[in-house]
Structure 1
Amino acid sequence: MDNDYNSTDEDEDSLLFACQILGFSTITGAVFIIIFIVSVIGNILLLFILFTFEKLYLVTKIFIINLACSDLIFTATIPFWAVYHLHHWIFGDFMCKFIVWVHFTGLYSSIFVLTAMTVDRFCTVVLNNWPNNNQRKKQCAIGVCVVVWVISICISVYDAFKMEVSDDYYCEVSYSEELGYYFQVPLLIFVPIAIIIFCNCAIIYTILQTARRTRHKALSIVFCIVVAYTICWGPYNIVLLIQDLYKPKDCEELERLNIVYNICRMLAFSHCCMNPLLCMLTQKFRSHLFYLLRRRVGINRERAN
């Protein structure tokens, strides 16, 4: 087969289809299943620890609870994408739109909550302009989270209606909406990430100036969550833009781009597992987890006796 594209769009689309790499479908489906299991266990355990041991009036804890909920909503769609990779889309047009709506609700709410969390830290550390009253802090955090969820749900509805099931059982964005879609999604990710990077740079500069180690420790978990999100979702959205703007000239280039896309997509989806793992790195969360495990073992021994 000739690797050079013809000048017509029809020949180009035909060759693009002929060059598709099918070997990643099984790998991606299996990885998605593993991500689903780890995320469900980790985020449910994180929520249980937060509601059992942590004081909910603390702003950071409220944001982390909302992040865990966002991750669980996003995780709920992963089995459908796993089946999609293994057997194409078999759930119909309504479920295509509904799952995309749930998927993007989890995605958008996660990045918006993370942005709000970072701005909160920026106001507290850099501007030193945040209410001292704990009740006032709690009200502000809850109000911000409500706004985040409303915006995320509304934007996701708009995204869902762009999706359709094609004749060959692909749940994909409508061809007429494709250009706007692949610009909109990275835009809604890159703008918050730009805000997050700016705020964190200012926070780090302020911390280095004051040299307050206790404050540094309090901010470390937020900083790690931000870094994890950027590492996981940044490359995937860059690849989306590349796919939309750059057309490979031969099958070899298409294969390389497809490999990079699949690897970045698996990395992006794995983010829903990261927040529980990062929280468990802190001494407080680990002690709570070990306490729960010891109590569970003690209950099982009592039942055995």
Structure 2
Amino acid sequence: MATMLNTSDGLREVTTSSMMTTEDYYNYYEGGIDAEPCDYGKHASHFLPVLYSLFFVVGFLGNMLVLWMILRGPQMKKTTDVSLLNLVITDLLLIFSLPFLAHYARDTWVFGGAMCTLVLSVYYIGFYAGIFFIVLMSIDRFLAIVHTGFALRIQSKTKNGILACVVIWILAIAASFPELLYLGVEHYDNKTICSAYPKDNRHNNVRSVAFFKMNVLGMLIPLTIVGYCYSMVLWRLHMLRNSKKLAIRLVVVVMVVFFCCWIPYNIAAFLKALELLEILPPDCELSKRTQLMLQATEAIAYSHCCLNPFLYVFMGKKFRRHLMKLLHQTPCIQE
């Protein structure tokens, strides 16, 4: 996300990426705050509030419908059911932070230090938990299709699914450090900034490590696991009858959307880490392009929480049948 600092010498943009908070961009190069600032314009204040508001509406409605379906459906007995419930909860956590981030992208932070800590804590934990639950569901589908016998023994027990989800939440909290240690507000030029790191050059290495950590834990490892699981699933389904072609298409869609949503942001985050470490040349134009790329790709990554209901539930025949059944049982529709 981005907040715009209106100074007497013009508008200078300070980006605090809600996934991985970056530095104040007036010290993007060696020379720090005393050097001439780089004017970042106000592009983010135009498109981020609109996109985040749209994601909030679509994501809230879609995930609440899925949650309603799960709670009204049969008792959860398998790992897939428990994982799906937790994935919906994870998406809702991210979605509930969007109104705050939408306002912050347009203006200064006005919600106080406690809300800053709460919103960013929810964001970081929800970010990692969402990816980890996608990995868990990929492993679950891999076992169900490729190793059916083993899957039947472990997936039929509800306690196994609950235990797996508890482990995922613990891992998500652990992956959110050290960001959770630094959350808070700072004041600059009569403006309030909500960030995950103190904005000084001493913490550049810490922020760079955080970006690289996100690349590894939030991208490389998950995509390696997801890619392997779904490639095995595709190979297995390819060996089956033509009636399984729809399932193959669904798996391909899941893989493509996951990659498309997260790879661009991780590339931008990697470039930003190189800039913080001064591996990239201290060039204002290059820094502005990296900045804009970071903001745009973060919005793309955020859209994934809106797409999950459609990818994991709405495209399933069983869900559509169950949805129609519940809708016909609803009094207002019956009338």
Equivalent residue pairs, number: 295
Q: Is the 8 A contact 1:21 1:258 kept in 2?
A: no
Distance, in Å, in 1 between the alignment partners of 2:91 and 2:27 is: 44
Compared with structure 1, are the counterparts of its residues 50 and 170 closer, same or farther at alpha carbon in structure 2 (3 Å cutoff)?
A: same
In structure 2, the partner of 1:284 is 318
Displacement of 1:292 in angstroms is: 4.3
**SS of the residue 1:201 aligns to:** helix
In structure 1, the partner of 2:137 is 117
Displacement of 1:116 in angstroms is: 1.3
Displacement of 1:44 in angstroms is: 0.7
Matching of residues 12-91 of structure 1 within 5 Å: 14-15=35-36, 17-54=37-74, 56-91=76-111
1:10 aligns with 2:43: no
In structure 2, the partner of 1:236 is 265
Compared with structure 1, are the counterparts of its residues 76 and 111 closer, same or farther at alpha carbon in structure 2 (3 Å cutoff)?
A: same
Displacement of 1:55 in angstroms is: 5.3
Displacement of 1:223 in angstroms is: 5.2
**Which stretch of the first structure deviates more once superposed, 118-127 or 239-248?**
118-127
Compared with structure 1, are the counterparts of its residues 154 and 300 closer, same or farther at alpha carbon in structure 2 (3 Å cutoff)?
A: same
Distance, in Å, in 2 between the alignment partners of 1:106 and 1:7 is: 29
Q: Is the 8 A contact 1:101 1:157 kept in 2?
A: no
Q: Is the 8 A contact 2:79 2:155 kept in 1?
A: no
Q: Is the 8 A contact 2:67 2:88 kept in 1?
A: yes
Displacement of 1:74 in angstroms is: 1.1
Q: Is the 8 A contact 2:27 2:35 kept in 1?
A: no
Distance, in Å, in 2 between the alignment partners of 1:295 and 1:137 is: 30
In structure 2, the partner of 1:171 is 194
Q: Is the 8 A contact 1:19 1:254 kept in 2?
A: no
**SS of the residue 2:31 aligns to:** helix
1:152 aligns with 2:172: yes
Q: Which amino acid aligns with 1:206?
A: R
Q: Which amino acid aligns with 1:27?
A: F
Displacement of 1:157 in angstroms is: 5.6
The alignment yields a C-alpha RMSD, in angstroms, of: 3.0
Distance, in Å, in 1 between the alignment partners of 2:27 and 2:77 is: 63
Q: Is the 8 A contact 2:237 2:248 kept in 1?
A: no
Q: 1:255 aligns with which of 288, 299, 322?
A: 288
Compared with structure 1, are the counterparts of its residues 80 and 7 closer, same or farther at alpha carbon in structure 2 (3 Å cutoff)?
A: closer
Compared with structure 1, are the counterparts of its residues 41 and 58 closer, same or farther at alpha carbon in structure 2 (3 Å cutoff)?
A: same
Compared with structure 1, are the counterparts of its residues 7 and 115 closer, same or farther at alpha carbon in structure 2 (3 Å cutoff)?
A: closer
- Give the % identical residues: 28
Displacement of 1:184 in angstroms is: 1.5
Q: 1:143 aligns with which of 163, 166, 172?
A: 163
Distance, in Å, in 2 between the alignment partners of 1:201 and 1:84 is: 40
Displacement of 1:68 in angstroms is: 0.8
Q: Which amino acid aligns with 2:293?
A: V
In structure 1, the partner of 2:112 is 92
**SS of the residue 1:9 aligns to:** coil
In structure 1, the partner of 2:306 is 273
Determine which structure has the larger strand proportion and give its number. 2
Query: Which ranges in structure 2 are unaligned for 5 or more consecutive residues?
Result: 1-25
Q: Is the 8 A contact 2:327 2:333 kept in 1?
A: no
Q: Which amino acid aligns with 1:275?
A: N
**Which stretch of the first structure deviates more once superposed, 38-47 or 185-194?**
185-194
User: How high is the TM-score relative to the length of structure 2?
Assistant: 0.77
Compared with structure 1, are the counterparts of its residues 294 and 136 closer, same or farther at alpha carbon in structure 2 (3 Å cutoff)?
A: closer
Q: Which amino acid aligns with 1:113?
A: F
**SS of the residue 1:21 aligns to:** coil
Displacement of 1:37 in angstroms is: 1.3
**SS of the residue 2:150 aligns to:** coil
In structure 1, the partner of 2:230 is 200
Compared with structure 1, are the counterparts of its residues 65 and 257 closer, same or farther at alpha carbon in structure 2 (3 Å cutoff)?
A: same
Displacement of 1:63 in angstroms is: 1.8
Deviation digits for residues 111-160 of structure 1 (CA, Å, limit 9, x no counterpart): 11111111222233334452434774433222111111122234336422
**SS of the residue 2:237 aligns to:** helix
Q: Is the 8 A contact 2:30 2:282 kept in 1?
A: no
**SS of the residue 1:18 aligns to:** coil
Deviation digits for residues 231-271 of structure 1 (CA, Å, limit 9, x no counterpart): 21221111111111144654433333233222211111111
In structure 1, the partner of 2:182 is 162
Deviation digits for residues 153-181 of structure 1 (CA, Å, limit 9, x no counterpart): 34336422133423222222234231222
**Which stretch of the first structure deviates more once superposed, 196-205 or 64-73?**
196-205
Compared with structure 1, are the counterparts of its residues 82 and 14 closer, same or farther at alpha carbon in structure 2 (3 Å cutoff)?
A: farther
